[in-house]
Amino acid sequence: MPGKVSPDDLLDHVFGRTGTAADDETVLQGPADGEDAAGIAIPGCDETLVVSSDPISLAASQVGTLAVRVACNDVAASGADPRWLTAVIMLPDEDAPLETITHDLDAAARDVGASIVGGHSEYVDQLERPLLSLTAMGMAESFVPTHGAEPGDSVVLTKAAGLEGTAILASDFGDDLDVDDTICERAAEFVDEISIVDDGRAIREYATAMHDPTEGGVAAGALEIARASDVRLEIARDAVPIREETQQLCEAAAVDPLRIFGSGALLATVPSEAVDDCLESLAEAGLEGAEIGTVGEGAFELVLDGESITEPIEDDLYPLWEAADAEA
């Protein structure tokens, strides 16, 4: 099945096989369940180097732009401004749009203020579409982990749920859904809001934990915070901002807006007394934000409108892609 490797498999086969990381005092945050990035102490420096790698293969258009934004989001979700990037570009053949990809990489990197400092490129005839993998790096005054949520915190979401998933529904399935063309046109533009660099910059000083809700959307992201922090997150669906375009496309496709790709929003836990300041900081940055839930004590779980969730959440868009491939 497509999607993330399960937490159990990561625990059994990945997290314990990290070379000398366990004995390296400079590794402040290594590979761990739900963590967006690594944190590395640089001798003689008061700041923390934040590093994250992310591949992108599903997007056919704007793959260079999306690759930069997705990689930089994980750095931003850990409290840093992205500053350096390396780019691995794997192409199916010489007809692949290398010029367009590198043009988009350059423009997107300039947009977030990052330098592309290296990478690798080659042709791989087993591929059907370009595959990019970027590593983003930046410096943080204070590293913000996924596992920092504390009982008594509030849960804050920036922008709205399902932004990336909404853009995908419009671009990949819009022609087959009973949705007005103007809705699809507006939804397709959500891809321009995928970056959370500004979101992270606005709220990192208030956050005990931050997380980038990608695959599986807001629900999966909240569950990952709960599992990493070993706390109970309770979220009220009615409190989660959902745009009209998202609502209409999700209803037409029979998918849950809280369980589709959520890039473009940032989940954070914030001490309850700091919520108003956090939301005000977002507003001053021209960004939407909402308090959507609370953090409580107890064994980890996500409680969504009274439903207890502890098992990994599969993104609702994968069955749509599988059905489309079966019909092709």
Look at residue 203 in the predicted model and tell me its pLDDT. 97
Dihedral angle computed from the Cα positions of residues 17, 76, 104 and 125, in that order, rounded to the nearest 10 degrees = 10
Query: How far, in Å, CA of 213 to CA of 264, rounded?
Result: 8
Query: How far, in Å, CA of 167 to CA of 187, rounded?
Result: 5
Q: How many CB atoms lie within 10 A of CB 131?
A: 18
| Predicted structure pTM score | 0.93
Query: How far, in Å, CA of 61 to CA of 59, rounded?
Result: 6
Look at residue 2 in the predicted model and tell me its pLDDT. 63
Look at residue 325 in the predicted model and tell me its pLDDT. 74
Residues, the chain, total? 328
Look at residue 63 in the predicted model and tell me its pLDDT. 87
**pLDDT 10s per residue in the chain (328 long)?**
567 788 889 989 998 999 999 999 999 999 998 898 999 999 999 999 999 999 987 655 688 998 999 999 999 999 999 999 999 999 988 887 899 999 999 999 999 999 999 999 999 989 888 899 999 999 999 999 999 999 999 999 999 999 999 999 998 898 889 999 999 999 999 989 999 999 999 999 999 999 999 999 999 999 999 999 999 999 999 999 999 999 999 999 999 999 999 999 999 999 999 999 999 999 999 999 999 999 999 899 999 999 999 999 999 999 998 888 787 6
- The whole-chain average pLDDT of the chain stands at 94
Q: How many CA atoms lie within 13 A of 105 on its CB side?
A: 26
What is the architecture, at CATH level 2, of domain 7-140? 2-Layer Sandwich (3.30)
Torsion-angle region of 151 (φ positive above 0: left; ψ -120 to 50: alpha; else: beta): beta
Contact 146, 228 (CB under 8 A): yes
Query: How far, in Å, CA of 61 to CA of 245, rounded?
Result: 21
Look at residue 313 in the predicted model and tell me its pLDDT. 94
Query: How is residue 147 written in tokens?
Result: 């596992």
- Any residues with CB less than 8 A from the CB of 285 and at least 6 apart, and which? 198, 199, 201, 202
Query: How far, in Å, CA of 131 to CA of 58, rounded?
Result: 8
User: Domain segments of the chain: what residues?
Assistant: 7-140, 153-327
Query: How is residue 178 written in tokens?
Result: 């009973």
Q: How many CB atoms lie within 10 A of CB 167?
A: 29
CATH superfamily of 153-327: PurM-like C-terminal domain (3.90.650.10)
Query: How far, in Å, CA of 18 to CA of 21, rounded?
Result: 6
Look at residue 19 in the predicted model and tell me its pLDDT. 94
The one-letter amino acid code at 172 reads D
Residue with tokens 């001798």: 43
- Rounded (5°) CA angle 147-76-257: 75
Query: How far, in Å, CA of 325 to CA of 328, rounded?
Result: 5
Look at residue 324 in the predicted model and tell me its pLDDT. 80
Look at residue 59 in the predicted model and tell me its pLDDT. 58
Query: How far, in Å, CA of 297 to CA of 279, rounded?
Result: 24
H or E element in which residue 194 lies: none
**Tens of pLDDT along 122-131?**
999 898 888 9
List the beta bridge partners of residue 308.
303
Q: How many CA atoms lie within 13 A of 251 on its CB side?
A: 11
Contact 171, 59 (CB under 8 A): no
Torsion-angle region of 118 (φ positive above 0: left; ψ -120 to 50: alpha; else: beta): left
Parallel/antiparallel/unpaired status of strands 27-29 and 38-41 = antiparallel
Dihedral angle computed from the Cα positions of residues 221, 224, 225 and 230, in that order, rounded to the nearest 10 degrees = 160
H or E element in which residue 151 lies: none
Distance from the Cα of residue 153 to its chain's centroid = 21
